[in-house]
Amino acid sequence: MPTAKKLPSGSWRCQVYSHTEEILQPDGTIKHKRVYRSFTSDVPGSKGKRLAEQMAADFAAEKEDSSNVQNITVGEAMDRYINAREKVLSPRTIMDYQRIRKNELAALTDLKILSITQEDIQRAINMEAQRRSPKTVRNSHGFLSAVLKVYRPNFALNTSLPKSVHPDLYVPSDSEIRRLLECAKDTELELPILLAAFGPMRRGEICALESTDITGSTVHVTKNMVRTKDNEWIIKAPKSYAGDRYIDYPDFVAEKWAGIVGHITPLTPNNITDRFNSLLKKSGLPHFRFHDLRHYSASIQHAIGIPDSYIMERGGWGNDGVLKSVYRHALSDQRKEMDKIANQYFSQLMQHEISHDNKKPT
């Protein structure tokens, strides 16, 4: 580690090697000159000395990292990025990054990270767009962008991406929810359905829920069950900051967890999905996802006039962009009723106009 020296002014200066310059001499020979960077601290005493040495050490470390990047490929940079964040990102995010590393952007992964151009990236994205959905392509590009911010911080991405496709989501109706609950009555799936449809809670949140998280009819969502890359189910913090929330359930739901000690359900998220699909077939209902029960809950709340801010808080959504683009879907039967009210109003308006016109003197 470089050592700082005290200057006559009382400041501390620490010098560290930066690079070597080639200087052409009058006789045609080349002289190599070592160039140093100076880091100065005006803080008096040993603290100032440490500060100057720390700045020099940071510069040396960054320089070393930069030299290490010289020969790595985009794929190797992706691997480094994933490994460095494995302990801080969610297992699901790490799995998504690993999937992209393995299956996407093959046209880039063998290229040197410092030599790729915007044209290379655009060409790779165009190729992915021919075989992947717009969402998948955008996710892959997002991961690449994050990697480049670390290993090519001055690289300005300007990629044209495929347009997002509005999701064609299914929102169960009131009658379908009632039919579903009738078929799930007194089974291990009944309580998870109630928690999702009237909460709304996610699969992982339901599976991680314990009796100690419940007070009366109020659930405190503090955990989430997720699967690691080794296919093990673990309990961790909620999906997002907004995921830590309180949900006050109706009494008919609270009655279903009365007397349960420990985990509210013995099921894993995959168990819920598999049993839910079987239940749909048994009940004769059209296929939809367990997650669509959250669509139902949010849509009902929106339809009866509950403010979006409350819906976001109850459902654990961090911003209303998700709510607007995904969850704000009126139910088909309610949409018909709203259409009926609007059409009746327009009809009455025109009848009034026609009646008024007929009364005009000729």
Count the neighbouring beta carbons within 10 Å of the beta carbon of residue 134: 14
Strongest mean pLDDT among 68-72, 91-95, 328-332: 91-95
The reply to whether omega before 200 is within 30° of 0 (cis) is: yes
> How many residues in the chain?
362
Q: CA 78, 83, 87 angle in degrees (round to 5)?
A: 135
- Where does the pLDDT of residue 360 fall: very low under 50, low under 70, confident under 90, or very high at 90 and above? low
Minimum mean pLDDT range among 146-160, 198-212, 276-290: 146-160
Per the structure block, which two tokens stand in for 145? 């962008």
Tokens 């005009």, located at residue: 360
For residue 31, give the DSSP letter. Answer: E
CATH code for the domain defined by 74-151 = 1.10.150
pLDDT in tens, 162-188: 998 776 778 898 999 999 999 999 999
DSSP helix/strand/coil, 25 = coil
Q: Is the pLDDT of residue 214 over 90?
A: yes
Alpha helices in the chain (DSSP H): 45-69, 74-84, 91-103, 106-109, 118-129, 134-151, 174-184, 190-197, 203-208, 251-257, 269-283, 292-303, 308-315, 320-322, 332-358
What is the pLDDT averaged over residues 200-210? 96
pLDDT of residue 51: 87
Say what percent of the chain tops pLDDT 90: 51
- Where does the pLDDT of residue 64 fall: very low under 50, low under 70, confident under 90, or very high at 90 and above? low
β-pairing verdict for 30-41 and 12-24: antiparallel
CB < 8 Å & 24+ apart, contacts of 138-145: 138/162, 138/164, 139/96, 139/100, 140/100, 140/104, 140/105, 143/78, 143/96, 143/97, 143/100, 144/74, 144/78, 144/105, 144/108
User: 174-332, superfamily in CATH?
Assistant: Intergrase catalytic core (1.10.443.10)
Q: Is the pLDDT of residue 94 over 80?
A: yes
Point out which residues pair with 246 in neighbouring strands: 220
pLDDT of residue 354: 63
Domain boundaries, the chain: 5-69, 74-151, 174-332
Q: Are domains 74-151 and 174-332 of this chain identical in fold?
A: no
CB under 8 Å to 257, separation ≥6 — which residues?
Answer: 191, 211, 214, 264
In angstroms, rounded to a whole number, what is the distance separating the alpha carbons of residues 112 and 151?
A: 11
In angstroms, rounded to a whole number, what is the distance separating the alpha carbons of residues 241 and 173?
A: 30
pLDDT in tens, 225-277: 998 878 889 998 876 777 899 999 999 999 999 999 999 999 999 999 999 99
Per the structure block, which two tokens stand in for 297? 């809950």
pLDDT of residue 136: 95
pLDDT in tens, 323-332: 666 555 555 5
Count the neighbouring beta carbons within 10 Å of the beta carbon of residue 31: 9
pLDDT of residue 66: 56
Q: Is the pLDDT of residue 138 over 70?
A: yes
Q: pTM of the entire structure?
A: 0.65
pLDDT of residue 195: 97
In angstroms, rounded to a whole number, what is the distance separating the alpha carbons of residues 283 and 71?
A: 59
What is the residue-averaged pLDDT of the chain? 87
Tokens 């100032």, located at residue: 48
